[in-house]
Structure 1
Amino acid sequence: MYPILGDTVSQCSKSFTPVVLLTAGKHHSVASTEAKPDIINKNLSFRWAYDSPYEQQSRPLILIYSWLVAKARHMHKYGDFYLKKGWDVLHVKVDPLQLMLPSSAQRVVGQVLEFTQDDKRLKQPILVHGFSVGGYLWGETLVKILSDESLIANLRHRIHGQIMDSPVSFHGIPFGVSQAVTDVRLLQNIVEGTISSYLSLTKNITMKYYVRSQETFEENVMHTPSMFLFSKADVIGRHRVIEECIEKMKRKGIAVYSKCWEDSRHVSHFQRHPVEYIDMMTYFLQRIKFLDVPDEGKIQMTG
């Protein structure tokens, strides 16, 4: 499974620089949270904190890995939390077909890493916030980082923490995709069965990559501090699988924090428990000493 926590606090192949340069001047009449994002491609969109008090090289870059078929307005609520702190936000997403084709997902994470290696971003501290299958994408990102010594050298000290909301193990992918693409029960059953059969028939060219991604995330060889937000009521990102991941990280001496709710559904924890959710995010940022996060966790996410 991907991210889930422990220590329980209980409770592209082309340069992206031109995109920022061409759009930088058009936003200054509104706050960065109100400006339209820069669409890099169908998988990546960038929200630049141009009204930040921090210099570009020193302000954080937040990598938000979306859940499947998430609407931009929903993901931007989370991005706003970081933009209001003066931090840049890169939104990352894949569609169901890309999720089923690991080589496609791997190209997307390659684009993410290319973005982080732009000359203007080489020193930006990084925080990761992943949702559902975003955990798989982050695992693929880690696989690529660990296969390249230059990426390891640059990123091992830039990645300060990872927050995982409702992470899904590879076993949960068929059910999770079926729930994301339709609300019709009969169609959900058909989609789930079709994907399960596909993964079984192609296990040598698909499943091994899901397993590798999950294992790489759980190993957490860079000992990245982690926060897991999940629920006992989540039938997609199952809490017992997440708890096992948390315990595995804790045994390695990794700083892990978590919050498990009783009633919130998959990726609905902020919607159901907004105050606690923001408090947990702020608590984690304070614990990992991520810049000057204020003591009060009341920077609001609207909606």
Structure 2
Amino acid sequence: MFRLCFKPNRFGSLIRYFSYNIADTTRRKLIIQTTSMALSTKARDDQVMLSKNLSLTQNKQDSNKAERTLVLLFSWMLAQDKHLKKYIQFYSNYGFDILVVKTDPLQLVFPRRGSIKNAEEVVQFIKGKTDYYSKLIVHGFSVGAYQFGEVLVKMSEDKTFASQTEKMWQAMIFDSAANLAAIPDGFSRALTSIPILQKLLCQLLNLYLRLFYYVATKYYEESEKEFNQMNHFRVPSLMLVSERDKIGSIASNQEVMDSWVNRGIPVKMKIWKDSKHVSHYHKYPEEYEQELKRIIEETSV
């Protein structure tokens, strides 16, 4: 159930995507493999760029704590660092480390060289840090729910990894998560504010999804299936939605919530009346933080 959140006037991100090459892929893998050594020498509050789409903020508080918690923050489409700062600060106040995972537009359109690669990087990072982190929290926004679904697909392909990390997962929070059907509409609104062009782009993307099923749509469906079934763990979960948000709609979130409840996952949904897509924290900061604090208190972190 994934729709997308985009910000307009971000053509530069599309251009930068095409600069992605084999050398950069190798560099990203080497960075992730050597992260353990790098983190021990860097300031704990510094942001470490692990790759083009992954960055880690380590908290200097409780740096010698035996059991450390990592928050996997799956951002919305084209989210800027300044937009994510308040979320990072919130979790830093708890002494948690935060791994930010970003997904570019064309990484979504071409998942095999984009979002799936991101998921592989996340899995490889966690594999390399199981001795350092004992607990994991997921916080996803909009398309971040889809990106987390790709991580779940990787977990389903690696039973050993899924088993090793099963007890590490502590909580899941999804802000404005939405479904696959919004890809054409989301892309068109991201690229232009002109209605006639939005309509044209939407039609072209719908055609793309039909014609290139094995290039893109197939992977969206697999991710959605894993996300809806949530086979690997049963942890306290929170869905944050708004009556005003037609992208991450209440109905689509309720559908997933019902599926999770039927599988024994404890889920709560917080509904606001008038906040925009992925803007609930901005509109209702105190209520938003109260919801996050509540779910953290339900865990053992």
Q: Shared topology, TM-score over 0.5?
A: yes
Corresponding residue for 1:58?
Answer: 67
TM-score (norm 2): 0.85
Task: Find out whether 1:243 has 2:243 as its counterpart.
Answer: no
Task: Find out whether 1:161 has 2:171 as its counterpart.
Answer: yes
Q: Tell me the percent identity.
A: 31
What letter matches 1:232 in structure 2? E
What letter matches 1:220 in structure 2? M
Which residue among 277, 280, 284 is the counterpart of 1:266? Answer: 277
CA distance in 2, matches of 1:20, 1:185: 49
Specify whether residues 121 and 106 from structure 1 end up closer, same or farther in structure 2 by C-alpha distance, changes over 3 A only: farther
Task: Find out whether 1:284 has 2:300 as its counterpart.
Answer: no
What letter matches 1:69 in structure 2? L
Specify whether residues 247 and 90 from structure 1 end up closer, same or farther in structure 2 by C-alpha distance, changes over 3 A only: same
Corresponding residue for 1:80?
Answer: 89
Q: Secondary structure at 1:16's aligned position in 2?
A: helix
Contact 1:127-1:161 within 8 A present in 2 as well: yes
Task: Find out whether 1:13 has 2:13 as its counterpart.
Answer: no
CA distance in 2, matches of 1:23, 1:159: 22
1:20 Cα deviation after fit: 5.8
**Residues 260-284 of structure 1, C-alpha deviation per residue, up to 9 Å, x if partnerless?**
1111111011111111110001111
1:169 Cα deviation after fit: 0.6
Corresponding residue for 2:159?
Answer: 149
Deviates more, 1:17-26 or 1:195-204: 17-26
Structure 1 unaligned segments of length 5 or more: list them.
4-11, 292-303
Structure with greater contact order relative to length (CA < 8 Å, sep ≥ 6): 1
TM-score (norm 1): 0.84
1:15 Cα deviation after fit: 5.1
1:251 Cα deviation after fit: 1.9
CA distance in 2, matches of 1:151, 1:23: 23
Structure 2 unaligned segments of length 5 or more: list them.
4-27
Corresponding residue for 1:9?
Answer: none
Contact 2:70-2:133 within 8 A present in 1 as well: no
Number of equivalences? 275
CA distance in 1, matches of 2:130, 2:85: 24
What letter matches 2:110 in structure 1? L
Q: Secondary structure at 2:134's aligned position in 1?
A: coil
- RMSD between aligned residues: 2.1
CA distance in 1, matches of 2:156, 2:130: 22
